[in-house]
Chain A
């Protein structure tokens, strides 16, 4: 009886599910990053050092001869770049979380307790920064407050943009599959993945305040509002190509950036807001904020959702992002939001997906 039971157990486990390829790839990257080379044993070290020294002497002699003959040009400073450390983020007062991708590595810190640093192609905080969704390898991954993954879904390509609905129940994401960018919506718990559009631009979608619709940029460069309830699309009458879209945090005003600058559309009324030279734009305390670069500082012009001007102020540095409550600027190597230095970045580092929740 026991041996039969044991055979059944072996058979049972042999039929078990297989790991998903996306999970393996991410795990392999994590594991390889953790690899710590062990120092080579001392045996033979002296001989190796002597041999190395001999080779160096020979090379110096040869190089000296070539340099003297004008046949060798020595250049210094072409060393391979060492891997940059992921910056540690600081949470501003009254913020729930901060996420940023610096040189391809995602840093997240949240009031709920988690601090995560992984290689990622895109990221978005959930409402109140309770979770973070990230493109890791060829998967869309949601990480829980304790840093472990809540769920992971292979999506067949690199996720380039993610937007979490204001109610937290759905996530819109753009994935690069082969030659195209494809738009999907998935529930916040990682189920019910739905293909929305087979050809879109690699632009972050934006959700309307009621979470029943979102805007994205279609393959032709036009902004499109997709209504989830009616499963209908409405093309926004702004000249293509649109390069960024942002719904207001309340109401249905939609700000767009195109070749001619920033425009505002509300209840089918269209208003051109600012000329092409825009450093950043977004919704700040319920008003559309448009940062126009100036010498040493940017001018932030504010507009009501109907397009009426609401004044302006200056922000010292380069405006990196406009978040619902804070303008994020870069001053030399410091990235600052309000009175808080979020992090210091290496020179020439790229920042993407900077978000304060």
Chain B
């Protein structure tokens, strides 16, 4: 990390290789679209590397990067909603990409509100703790826990309905 901060491209490349996959998957899980995930993850790294000078290297890089990626994804999705509220579903191509997975759960995650889906993705997709998510999204930890709890509750309800049907 220190070498990357000093502008060492080799060290920065290593940093990129280590975190790219996680950052991209987080972006994909939030946006639900490959093209957006490519953009969001690339933007996230670009912003993170441009701001490495301000990064406190005693702290872990991953949560900081995920914070940038998550916020960038949210900004893009919100902008799209503003531009085209009716045309764009929240997770247009999430289902085909996961076609072999847990379809019911996948559909239920796709039905969560953007705010709830983001905390679920960061918690279970990226493996961040509620505290890290709170820092990443600039939210109180209590709000994160509350959103997680409500999201899980909503998912359980949706899965039960699906099971009954």
Contacts and interface: CB of A to CB of B under 8 A. Distances in A.
B61 interface: no
A41 B43 CA distance: 29
A311 interface: no
Contacts of B50: 34-36
A190 B93 CA distance: 15
A348 B113 CA distance: 55
Nearest to B55: A38
B38 A13 contact: no
B29 A24 contact: no
Contact of B98 (A5, A16, A38, A152): A16
Contacts of A12: 98, 101-102, 105-106, 109, 124
Contact of A13 (B6, B25, B45, B47): B25
Q: For A18, A27, A151, which residue has the most chain B Cβ atoms within 10 angstroms?
A: A27
Contacts of A8: 102, 105
Contacts of B20: 19, 24, 27-28
Contacts of B159: 5
A138 B6 CA distance: 29
A30 B45 contact: yes
Contacts of B106: 12
Interface residues of B, number: 47
Given A6-B124, A36-B50, A19 B16 contact: no
Contacts of A306: none
A288 B135 CA distance: 62
A37 interface: yes
B47 to A, nearest CB: 7
B48 A31 contact: yes
Contact of B46 (A2, A30, A150): A30
B52 A23 contact: no
A193 to B, nearest CB: 15
B155 A5 contact: yes
Interface stretch (B7-15, B84-92, B137-145): B7-15
A56 B49 CA distance: 34
Given A23-B24, A28-B20, A35-B12, A17 B34 contact: yes
A30 B9 CA distance: 12
B49 A32 contact: yes
B139 to A, nearest CB: 20
A176 B119 CA distance: 43
Contacts of A16: 25, 28-29, 97-98, 125
B6 A40 contact: yes
A152 B35 contact: yes
A252 interface: no
A37 B4 CA distance: 8
A152 to B, nearest CB: 6
B72 to A, nearest CB: 11
Contacts, number: 131
A149 B39 CA distance: 6
B131 interface: no
A32 B13 contact: yes
Given A17-B28, A31-B16, A38 B124 contact: no
Nearest to B93: A17
Interface string B48-79: 11101100000000000000000000001000
Contacts of B76: 148
Contacts of B21: 18-19
Given A24-B20, A30-B46, A10 B124 contact: yes
B19 to A, nearest CB: 10
- Of B5, B39, B50, B102, most A-chain CB atoms within 10 Å: B39
Interface string B21-38: 100110011000011011
Interface of A: 1-2, 5-6, 8-13, 15-20, 23-24, 26-28, 30-38, 40, 148-152, 190
Q: Which 9 A-B pairs have the closest CB atoms?
A: A37-B7, A13-B125, A27-B42, A31-B45, A19-B24, A9-B124, A34-B50, A23-B38, A38-B53
20 contacts: A2-B156, A5-B156, A10-B124, A12-B102, A12-B109, A13-B25, A13-B121, A17-B28, A19-B41, A23-B24, A27-B20, A28-B17, A30-B45, A32-B13, A35-B4, A37-B5, A37-B7, A149-B35, A151-B35, A190-B35
Given A32-B49, A37-B6, A190-B35, 9 more contacts: A13-B121, A16-B29, A19-B25, A27-B20, A27-B38, A27-B46, A34-B46, A35-B49, A38-B7
